[in-house]
Amino acid sequence: MKVFLTGASGILGSDIAKQLELLGHIYRGFDSQNIDIGNYKDVQSKVEIFKPDYIIHAAAMTNVDLCEDDRDAAFRINVIGSQNIAQAAASINVPVTYISSCGVYGNDKKTSYTETDVTKPLNFHHTTKLAGERKVMEYSKKYLIIRPGWLFGGTITHKKNFVEARRKEAAQNAIINSASDKIGSPTYTVDLAKQILMLIAGGYTGTFNVVNEGCATRYEYVREIVNLLKLNTIVEPIDSGAFKRKANMPDNECLENANLNLKQVNIMPHWKDSMKEYITKTYKL
């Protein structure tokens, strides 16, 4: 397969690129240095030159608070960018996979969301991610929409590396605080990349939640990281109100892989097993 991959320098995109390589696919990776997804002419010409037979769109403006501050940029990248990718895919008749977010569901449930639940995003970032889904559905002929959870993975130099950010914070403080009233589905980028490529290989289309098994509060998530890193730092549970944020964040972002289970193709391990694998490999512990 010849794959056009956006967001290739990101924590997820770089693992999708690695998995594509391992599976022997040809791919070309794009990031903000070599494509402007907000510009249709740029997208269209790059797609026409490479002539892929599949497009995976993992690029996005991912800083949730910045999306509140710069709504024009968030709309241009996440909504118009996704429309441009879908339109370019349709123009050469190839399918597209769009990476969405667990945040599109909003905050109406206490239990895990399934793909049939209503979507009601709370902040501008999640609103643009949902609008991106709708553009992909409207403009592309064949699509796969993936809703992942709280991502962890990447190299220690990745800006968005959640584990490395907590390691640095824990290394500098005897006590760190983490919200015990925010719950979600930690999701390892390597597992997610493998599951996405499995769905693509199987020709699946439609919308799929793709998260590691098990939910955790932010506090439980951070405590597991600190424990696995064998750091002495104490992690204290705290109310999220103590962290001042521009964006309104949902209390519950837990997802159930209902569609994967229905189709009997769920290969996602428990997040604690994957976190152990990631930390052991990354920090040679």
Ligand X SMILES: NC(=O)c1ccc[n+]([C@@H]2O[C@H](COP(=O)([O-])OP(=O)(O)OC[C@H]3O[C@@H](n4cnc5c(N)ncnc54)[C@H](OP(=O)(O)O)[C@@H]3O)[C@@H](O)[C@H]2O)c1
Binding site for ligand X (CB under 6 A): 6-13, 31-33, 35-38, 58-62, 77, 99, 101-102, 129, 148, 150-151, 160
Q: What is the sign of the dihedral through the CA atoms of 95, 137, 184 and 151?
A: positive
CA 126, distance to chain mean position in Å, is 12
Torsion of CA 186, 117, 73, 162, to 10 degrees: -10
Residue 237: CB minimum distance to ligand X, A: 21
- Tokens 């639940």, located at residue: 117
Residue 248: CB minimum distance to ligand X, A: 16
Torsion of CA 170, 183, 65, 61, to 10 degrees: 100
Residue 174: CB minimum distance to ligand X, A: 27
Residue 86: CB minimum distance to ligand X, A: 14
- Indicate the helix (H) or strand (E) that contains 47: helix 40-50
Where does the chain show beta strands of DSSP type E? 2-6, 26-30, 54-57, 96-99, 143-148, 150-152, 175-179, 183-184, 186-188, 206-210, 216-217, 234-238, 252-253
Q: Smallest Cα–Cα separation from 210: which of 225, 188, 232? A: 188
Residue 6: CB minimum distance to ligand X, A: 6
When CB distances to ligand X are compared, the closest residue is 10
For residues 60 and 264, which CB has a smaller minimum distance to ligand X in the complex? 60
Rg (Cα) of the chain, in Å, rounded?
18
For residues 69 and 285, which CB has a smaller minimum distance to ligand X in the complex? 69
Question: Do the beta carbons of residue 93 and residue 141 sit within 8 Å?
Answer: yes
For residues 243 and 285, which CB has a smaller minimum distance to ligand X in the complex? 243
For residues 9 and 284, which CB has a smaller minimum distance to ligand X in the complex? 9
Residue 17: CB minimum distance to ligand X, A: 10
Number of neighbours of residue 51 by Cβ within 10 angstroms: 10
H-state helical runs in 115-184: 124-139, 162-172
Residue 234: CB minimum distance to ligand X, A: 25
For residues 33 and 172, which CB has a smaller minimum distance to ligand X in the complex? 33
For residues 25 and 125, which CB has a smaller minimum distance to ligand X in the complex? 125
